């Protein structure tokens, strides 16, 4: 592991606006949809300079099929005797309280955690989150991609058990500390985002959607609905280095870490037009696999439509320019 020495730490001038503590989090889940569940969770608590204070880990009984066992390795037999989320919710909350939640693709971990707390009829004591993908972009790190393993390799951190929540949280904590120091030395503003608790959980089953197989029968988030037309005119294509503008037509293609409808909802709330197809009028295509041969990616290449990945789009949503600017 590559870590900064005490001399470098002492010489770093810490911006007063930086948080006073962090909770580096990783959760493994039964899947990526809004009704999937957490099967394990880990937290490394760090002080204001990124030094480890302690760590915590727990299995969680999802009360359903564990999902991709080939990824997280947690079978039904292993999880059968594990506590339910409601049984660990208080201790988990104590680890998060008064700290910034740090995760790799943090919006996914936060949404999964927020849903579990909503099911438990309470809220997580988290007000801000920091995505290490966004931070690596702010620091302009020379990474080949945005995978955790690439960030770890850049800082010389050795992964021992990929997709094990405790080891992933350890790896991220060790990679976050030098990132935090680099940001402090350069006076970089940390890409902090607000964590809004979810309160939309209902115990009533949702009506099945055509072509969709529900992964959990115990409840559902919002039913699908027709969105109102975007009230803003299309200002044209997105330009790299500039903010999104209200009225821009945004299309999505392929799998996303966050449930597609939630991403679309956030886009609509920001004043963007969510398009169901790509045309010459499309301002931006959001996809995690730009080299795939979907109709949208093929058309985007043909039309020269700008393309960004999910993590970049999430960051762009932080600061959408008003229509007409």
Instruction: Encode pLDDT of 153-186 as tens digits.
Output: 999 999 999 899 999 999 999 999 999 999 999 9
Quick one: pLDDT at residue 224?
40
As a whole number, the mean pLDDT across the chain is: 85
CA–CA distance, 133 with 107 (Å, rounded to integer): 11
Contact 131, 107 (CB under 8 A): yes
Looking at per-residue pLDDT, the higher value among 144 and 26 belongs to 26
Percentages helix, strand, coil for the chain (3-state, rounded to 5) are 35, 15, 50
Give 249: exposed, middle or buried? Use CB within 10 Å, 0-12, 13-18, 19+: buried
Tokens encoding 105: 């693709």
Tokens encoding 91: 């201790």
What one-character DSSP code corresponds to residue 245? B
CA–CA distance, 218 with 216 (Å, rounded to integer): 6
CA–CA distance, 274 with 261 (Å, rounded to integer): 10
Strands 128-131 and 192-194: antiparallel
Tokens encoding 128: 């801000």
Read off the pLDDT of residues 230-256 as tens digits, 9 standing for 90 and up. Answer: 889 999 999 988 999 999 999 998 877
Q: State whether residue 120 is helix, strand or coil.
A: coil
pTM (predicted TM-score): 0.65
Q: What is the mean pLDDT of residues 268-277?
A: 89
Q: How confident is the model at residue 195 (pLDDT cuts 50, 70, 90)?
A: confident
Quick one: pLDDT at residue 144?
86
Read off the pLDDT of residues 53-94 as tens digits, 9 standing for 90 and up. Answer: 999 999 999 999 998 888 899 999 999 999 999 999 999 999
Is residue 203 pLDDT above 80, yes or no? no
């Amino acid at each position: 592991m590559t870590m900064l020495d005490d001399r470098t730490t002492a010489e770093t001038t810490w911006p007063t606006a930086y948080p006073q503590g962090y909770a580096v989090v990783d959760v493994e889940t039964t899947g990526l949809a809004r009704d999937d569940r957490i099967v394990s969770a880990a937290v490394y608590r760090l002080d204001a300079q990124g030094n480890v204070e302690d760590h915590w880990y727990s299995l969680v009984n999802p009360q359903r099929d564990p999902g991709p066992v080939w990824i997280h390795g947690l079978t039904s037999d292993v999880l059968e005797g594990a506590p339910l989320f409601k049984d660990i919710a208080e201790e988990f909350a104590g680890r998060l309280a008064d700290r910034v939640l740090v995760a790799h693709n943090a919006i996914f971990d936060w949404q999964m955690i927020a849903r579990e707390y909503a099911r438990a009829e309470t809220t997580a004591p988290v007000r801000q989150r920091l995505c290490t993908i966004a931070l690596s972009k702010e620091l302009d790190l020379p990474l080949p991609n945005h995978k955790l393993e690439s960030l770890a390799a850049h800082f010389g951190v050795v992964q021992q058990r990929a997709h094990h929540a405790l080891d992933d949280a350890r790896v991220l904590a060790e990679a976050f500390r030098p990132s935090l120091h680099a940001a402090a030395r350069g006076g970089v503003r940390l890409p902090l985002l607000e964590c809004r608790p979810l309160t939309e959980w209902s115990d009533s089953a949702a009506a099945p959607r055509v072509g969709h197989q529900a992964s959990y029968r115990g409840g559902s988030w919002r039913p699908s609905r027709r969105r109102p037309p975007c009230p803003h005119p299309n200002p044209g294509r997105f330009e790299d280095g500039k903010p999104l503008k209200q009225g821009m037509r945004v299309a999505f293609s392929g799998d996303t870490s966050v449930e597609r409808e939630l991403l679309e909802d956030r886009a609509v709330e920001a004043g963007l037009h969510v398009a169901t197809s790509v045309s010459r009028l499309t301002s931006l295509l959001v996809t995690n696999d730009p080299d795939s041969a979907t109709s949208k990616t093929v058309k985007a290449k043909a039309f020269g439509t700008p393309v960004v990945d999910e993590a970049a789009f999430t960051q762009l949503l932080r600061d959408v320019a008003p229509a007409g600017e």
